[in-house]
Chains A and B, each alone.
Chain A
Amino acid sequence: DTGVSQDPRHKITKRGQNVTFRCDPISEHNRLYWYRQTLGQGPEFLTYFQNEAQLEKSRLLSDRFSAERPKGSFSTLEIQRTEQGDSAMYLCASSLGAPTEAFFGQGTRLTVV
């Protein structure tokens, strides 16, 4: 197992475009988390799934953001009508439930120009 995998690693997009990121968790991990990290700050929680169910969403997750985990395996995070303020590192993590440790991927760095 190679750990949590995120794709792409870097994305540059023009303001107003839609972008989609993918996260492949560690096999058999039933929990999957999305976080966002801006420069100089710690990661901020966005949402998490248990299997295919999205159980919690942060107020940071505006209506332009949508996350899915259709078969309880990989997950996608879509941002519609991107804004410059969306520029950040988007991190995915997975775990075997709580309170076990979560393992993070290397993130997708989004730059909105």
Chain B
Amino acid sequence: DAKTTQPPSMDCAEGRAANLPCNHSTISGNEYVYWYRQIHSQGPQYIIHGLKNNETNEMASLIITEDRKSSTLILPHATLRDTAVYYCIVSTGNQFYFGTGTSLTVIP
């Protein structure tokens, strides 16, 4: 079952950075932190994942604390198309428990 805690909703102004927090205090040493997002009626979209180092790709940055008990997904310049439900998942990669995620609304 879901091993992460996320705020149920957040707002962000268009063009600003969106910082989505996630707590995963019971993460195991071999579990990665994954982020997916889901826009209404579509399948989940992969964003980024990491083990313990910070990661960056063309979509986002992932900041993982040194003790690995929490992380933050950063969307550097949020657009209206980033409005979605964002899921933080800890997993070895064999299966994902999505939980209920954070509903991010980007405001014009």
Q: Which residues of A contact B (CB under 8 A)?
A: 4, 33, 35, 40-45, 48, 55-56, 58, 91, 93, 95, 97-107
User: CB < 8 Å: which of A35, A41, A100, A104 contacts B93?
Assistant: A100
| 16 pairs, A vs B, C-beta closer than 8 Å | A35-B96, A42-B87, A42-B99, A42-B100, A43-B44, A43-B98, A45-B96, A58-B95, A95-B93, A99-B49, A99-B51, A101-B49, A104-B36, A104-B45, A105-B43, A106-B42
User: CB < 8 Å: which of A43, A55, A99 contacts B32?
Assistant: A99
Point out which of B36, B49, B95 has the most chain A C-beta atoms below 10 A from its C-beta: B95
The minimal Cβ–Cβ distance linking A111 to chain B, given in whole angstroms, is: 14
Chain B contact residues: helix, strand, loop or mixed: loop
Cβ of A45: which chain B residues have Cβ within 8 Å of it? 95-97
Cβ of A102: which chain B residues have Cβ within 8 Å of it? 46, 93, 96
User: CB < 8 Å: which of A40, A48, A100, A107 contacts B95?
Assistant: A48
Q: Which residues of B contact A (CB under 8 A)?
A: 2, 32, 34, 36, 42-46, 49, 51, 85, 87, 91-101
Closest chain A residue, CB of each to CB of B98: A42
In the bound assembly, the distance between CA atoms of A42 and B92 in angstroms comes to 19
Closest chain A residue, CB of each to CB of B85: A42
